[in-house]
Structure 1
Amino acid sequence: MDQLTTHTDTLIETIGKNSSVSREEMSDLLTAYLPTNGMIRVIDENENDVTGKLAKSQEYTDVPIEYTTTERREVISFNQMDVAIVTKPIIWQNGKIVTIQVSDHLIHMNETMQTLRYVLFFSSAIILIPTIIASFLLSRFLLNPIQKLKETMQTNISKRDWQKIDIENRSKDELYEMEVTFNEMIDSLKENYEKQEIFVSNASHELKTPIQIIKSYAQLLSRRGEGNPELLQESTEAIDSEADRMQNLVEQMLALAKNQQEQVMETLDMRELLQQVTITFQKAYAPREINLLVDEKTKYVWQGNPDQIKQVIYILLTNALKYSEKEVHIRLQQQNDEMIVSVQDFGEGLAEQDQQHIFERFYRVDRARNRETGGTGLGLAIAKVIVESYQGEITVQSKIGEGSIFRIHLPNMDQ
């Protein structure tokens, strides 16, 4: 349209310079400016073509005639073809205002647009085909690990097989991190499940023994207890002893489960708490010597549950008094960012292999000796659970023939 407007302006300028030429010469002049696929008209106020139909093809002259005194630029659809038309008023040779109409059928544009459509279609195909293939491959790359993860999870749920995902030769992307996390979760679940099975198995075994003893003595009493005072006393004492041991075992298992739950925190004076525990044990185990060693000038303020902390100290003191005949020392220290409570005895001590398992549930250094003293093998496991619930640590240092030191490391909590 811009090109046609420029062409029309040039034509009008030429007409103005040659306004005195004859009608035939003017027709020849206009023919020189005729568009290849268009037409030139000069229309008077009666909508008559002053110069005749100037066009290279008859079909180009079918454009509607319209006289106007205003300049117009437009594209119209005519005979299933787009036509660009520029219409401008000019002063003709006779001094009257006429309309010059220059049109150009947009044949080349239609051909070009058709060509562009073909180019766009083929270029889109060239672009889309590799894109679709790449998308398919990328989706397989992304979905295969997810599908594999899903299948592994379903296998673990249905078969309890604890299968893990093979992550060798895998690119370390987000999916790789997810697979690593999944494998770590499977390891943790497997470990906890096995611990649970061991716990249930050991608990069943530990409860089975006293139940069997009680049942055996009850059957013995029913057969020969009547008129046999010695057998009656022996059976009664055995039943009472095994019932106590079974009650102790059940209470400790309940305590183990209870201490895994969240407890109410309080601000504690650890020195005062240990003094109370020490006095209680000194009275209960008199004349055994139980000493509390603490720096009186240091503040030992900590946050925790007093019942839980007392339970840990009770467990350690009970073991120390049970498995040694000499004095027992309790020591409270403040070191860097943690508070340390240690319980030291001077008994037979623990072998290195026993120290590695002493905090496991139902583990006993000497099963026969523990049965005699009424131990269940759960005390130190309970202490460990409680201490670790405060992000702390419980350790043991021992040497055969010299005794043992159990240390509770408690991180300082915000007040």
Structure 2
Amino acid sequence: MKHWTLQRKWTYASGLSIFLSFLMMCVILFFSIYNWLLISEEKIAQNTLHEVVNFFESKGPIISIQDIQRNKTLLNQLVNQKQSVRILNADGIEVLRINDASPFPSFSPTLTTDFQKDKLNNQLLLHKVAEIDFGLFKGYVEISHSLENFSQLMRYILIAMVIFTFIALVLSALIGYSLSSILLKPLKELRNEMQEAKQTKFSKEVSFQYVTNDEIGELLTIYKQLMNEVSETITRQDEFIHNVSHELRTPIQVVEGHLSLLNRWGKDDKEVLDDSLQISLTEVQKMKLLIEEMLKLAKREQSDKQKETNISTIVYDLKQKYRILTPTVEIKFDGNDHEKLPIPATALEQIIGNLIDNAIKYNTNQPKIVVKVTHHDTQTILSVKDNGIGIPTELLPKIFDRFFVIDEARTKTKGGSGLGLSIVKRLVSEYKGEIHVQSKENEGTNFDIIFTIMTKEESFNS
């Protein structure tokens, strides 16, 4: 059964359930009819016995054969019902028998209230003994009621029920198969849709339609959502791989070219050797930066969101770092030195550091950057403002996309990878924040990062 199709299982299950239900109904009906007809036969035999007793007792002490023959009603009833009656004296000796149509068992003077069912000479019958007293005669009257008609009728009913049961078995199988075909048709179409989606690498849109609001409809809705997510993920993955390959290809080619130059003749020329080594190291640093930023995106899945970080400490550390890397940069912190945010230090450093890094790269003046912290109701606003070249208005919606760069030429000279702002956007979203940007060309850019500070009770409930 493990290898059976769902349609086959459904066909057998529905067919078997319908067949068993019909069979059970037939069994109950058969025994109900059997008991009802048997009770009817007993009533008929009991009525005949009463009529015989009443007849003999009403005629008095002297009864002739002619008196019995003149009672046509009694005789017709005995003949039609295949009944036999015999009169026995007190010693159990038979003295008279009327209509020898049904055999009698061995006589027993035991009186019972109910009829006894026996089988004599392959014939099923009911018999009962009653006392009789008319005049000078005291004895017994016994009736034997043949159940031959009853047996034939039950046999016909049983044969008919067996035939109908086999017909029901065939019909139930056909009905089960038809129902399974109808009900499983949407699942088969959905299966075919999935197979086609797999063959086309999930690039094909879902064309299967099912408007009924049931479990299959819910399954289709979930499938469409998953397909959209898978398609979007694959698209992003392909774009990610393509862009990373493109970004890595250029520095690798530069390093390879300079190494080839050194291998041919440049290692004997100190000036060429120094230039090639410096350029190669610069390109390696670019590749290292790109890989590090991609790893930052990948490792942000597991973070300790309960830690709090002092903002001024992070800004101070970044000032020390950029004082060595870019001595001309001026970084200022405006806010409470004890201000904290519920973000791990590594995450907050990446957010502020990437914004500062961009402010330095996209700047034709002496970089001046202000990191400011303000409050509004339950919100803490972290602002990073610079005096750089600004961002064109039409490009603002794209700046948080991966690998998007505003100035290709400046990015190549400064070593940017186009991942910095996408890292900032993801980290801010991960810690339930919002980021907004305002910028004017040749005047500078201001990033506002808004965090809602929850109370202790709200934090506990969340």
In the superposition, the TM-score normalised over structure 2's length comes to 0.74
Match of 2:225 in 1: 184
Instruction: Give, in whole Å, the separation in 2 of the partners of 1:180 and 1:161.
Output: 16
Residue of structure 1 aligned with 2:356, choices 300, 317, 321: 317
Instruction: Give, in whole Å, the separation in 2 of the partners of 1:243 and 1:354.
Output: 30
Quick check: which one's helix share is greater?
2
Counterpart of 1:355 in 2: which secondary structure? helix
Structure 1 residues 370 and 301, CA, compared in 2 at 3 Å: closer, same or farther? closer
| Aligned residue identity for 2:128 | V
Instruction: Give, in whole Å, the separation in 1 of the partners of 2:256 and 2:428.
Output: 38
Structure 1 residues 43 and 358, CA, compared in 2 at 3 Å: closer, same or farther? farther
Match of 1:43 in 2: 88
Match of 2:317 in 1: 280
Structure 1 residues 95 and 153, CA, compared in 2 at 3 Å: closer, same or farther? same
Aligned length: 402
| Bigger relative CO (Cα 8 Å, ≥ 6 apart) | 2
Structure 1 residues 28 and 389, CA, compared in 2 at 3 Å: closer, same or farther? farther
CA contact (8 A) 1:328 1:346 kept: no
Residue of structure 2 aligned with 1:73, choices 69, 91, 115: 115
Match of 1:62 in 2: 103
Shift, 1:73, TM fit: 1.5
- The equivalences for 1:6-405 within 5 A come to 6-9=47-50, 11-24=52-65, 27=68, 32-33=73-74, 34-35=77-78, 36-37=80-81, 38-44=83-89, 46-50=91-95, 52-55=96-99, 58=100, 60-71=101-112, 72-91=114-133, 93-94=135-136, 96=138, 98-114=139-155, 116-117=157-158, 120=161, 132-158=173-199, 160=201, 162-168=203-209, 170-226=211-267, 228-259=269-300, 261-268=301-308, 273-285=310-322, 288-293=330-335, 302=342, 304-324=343-363, 325-333=367-375, 340-390=381-431, 392-405=433-446
| Aligned residue identity for 2:247 | E
CA contact (8 A) 1:53 1:61 kept: no
CA contact (8 A) 2:255 2:283 kept: yes
Instruction: Give, in whole Å, the separation in 2 of the partners of 1:410 and 1:54.
Output: 112
Shift, 1:120, TM fit: 4.2
**Percent of residue pairs bearing the same amino acid type:** 24
Shift, 1:369, TM fit: 0.9
| Aligned residue identity for 1:54 | I
Shift, 1:139, TM fit: 1.0
Deviations 1:158-178 (A, max 9, x none): 552544543336433321321
Shift, 1:32, TM fit: 4.4
Instruction: Give, in whole Å, the separation in 1 of the partners of 2:59 and 2:340.
Output: 116
| Aligned residue identity for 1:400 | E
CA contact (8 A) 1:152 1:163 kept: no
Instruction: Give, in whole Å, the separation in 1 of the partners of 2:414 and 2:230.
Output: 35
Deviations 1:364-409 (A, max 9, x none): 1112111222211122222333344445554444443443343445
Gaps of 5+ in 1: none
Counterpart of 1:309 in 2: which secondary structure? helix
Structure 1 residues 14 and 161, CA, compared in 2 at 3 Å: closer, same or farther? same
Instruction: Give, in whole Å, the separation in 2 of the partners of 1:378 and 1:153.
Output: 34
CA contact (8 A) 1:43 1:66 kept: no
| Aligned residue identity for 1:281 | L
Instruction: Give, in whole Å, the separation in 1 of the partners of 2:292 and 2:56.
Output: 119
Instruction: Give, in whole Å, the separation in 1 of the partners of 2:425 and 2:89.
Output: 111
Which moved further from structure 2: 61-70 or 154-163? 154-163
Structure 1 residues 80 and 213, CA, compared in 2 at 3 Å: closer, same or farther? same
Shift, 1:144, TM fit: 2.5
Which moved further from structure 2: 237-246 or 176-185? 176-185
Counterpart of 2:445 in 1: which secondary structure? strand
CA contact (8 A) 1:362 1:376 kept: yes
Match of 2:32 in 1: none
Structure 1 residues 394 and 21, CA, compared in 2 at 3 Å: closer, same or farther? farther
Which moved further from structure 2: 153-162 or 230-239? 153-162
Shift, 1:281, TM fit: 2.8
Structure 1 residues 21 and 217, CA, compared in 2 at 3 Å: closer, same or farther? same
Gaps of 5+ in 2: 1-38, 324-328
CA contact (8 A) 2:202 2:230 kept: no
In the superposition, the TM-score normalised over structure 1's length comes to 0.81
| Aligned residue identity for 2:306 | E
